[in-house]
Structure 1
């Protein structure tokens, strides 16, 4: 993961930290799944994985973004892509903040 990617994610965390119910990643504590994630009401809505932004969105929205070549369904290492999770392609021009806010609204609903 590049410093630029990490800085971009940190800026996203700073931007979304004030949203209602949001918990930001902690530099302390156990290193487990979701420890580097943005959460709302204790549920993950955005995280950084392998240098890519991963967001939870409605399945139809993920299908749309995958079809447009903006990313792929996220696979958490179990060999099964997750239907409601998008791993944004590093070359995508889509703004991270917009997608993360979409994910926040989806998970919060």
Structure 2
């Protein structure tokens, strides 16, 4: 399965989740329009044919250390500490990491408003 097809499966999985916006919804243009968002913040996207997810910094470091991911550089010359480029290609890993990212970004948004 191609990365885009696997990402589309994630889109289908999260489409009905509370607060989640998926690519292709009306009014979504510009940066992040092809990403999965929760409460307006990106939690998962495709970049360079790979899944990229937002997770806590320590978790990103651990996943890089285990070989499950690599640092994500948005083209500015340095790694973004809370973003992971997923290097595993199995659907189960993608779903688990995307779900973890949804929970992280969703909970961070809630706690910053309280």
**TM-score bin (small chain):** 0.7 to 0.9
On the 8 A contact 1:43/1:107 being kept in 2, the answer is yes
Count of aligned residue pairs for this structure pair: 105
1:82-97 aligned at under 5 Å gives the runs 82-89=80-87, 91-93=88-90, 95-97=93-95
Q: What is the CA RMSD across the aligned residues, in angstroms? A: 1.7
User: Match of 1:39, SS?
Assistant: strand
* Structure 1 spans left out of the alignment, 5+ residues: none
Q: Deviations over 1:2-30 (max 9, x none)?
A: x7111111011000111110000127764
Q: What TM-score, normalized to structure 1?
A: 0.88
- Shift in CA distance, 97/72, structure 1 to aligned 2, threshold 3 Å: same
Matches within 5 A, 1:24-35: 24-26=22-24, 30=29, 32-35=30-33
- How far residue 108 of structure 1 moved from its aligned partner, in angstroms, is 0.7
**Which structure's residues are more often helix, by fraction?**
2
Given that 1:21 and 1:40 are in contact with CA atoms closer than 8 Å, whether structure 2 keeps it comes out as yes
Task: State how far apart, in whole Å, the 1-side matches of 2:99 and 2:57 are.
Answer: 16
Gaps of 5+ in 2: 108-114
Structure 2 counterpart of 1:68, from 40, 59, 66 = 66
Q: Which residue of 2 aligns with 1:99?
A: 97
Post-superposition offset of 1:59: 0.4
C-alpha separation in 2, matches of 1:26 and 1:4: 19
What is the aligned counterpart of 1:18 among 5, 16, 24?
16
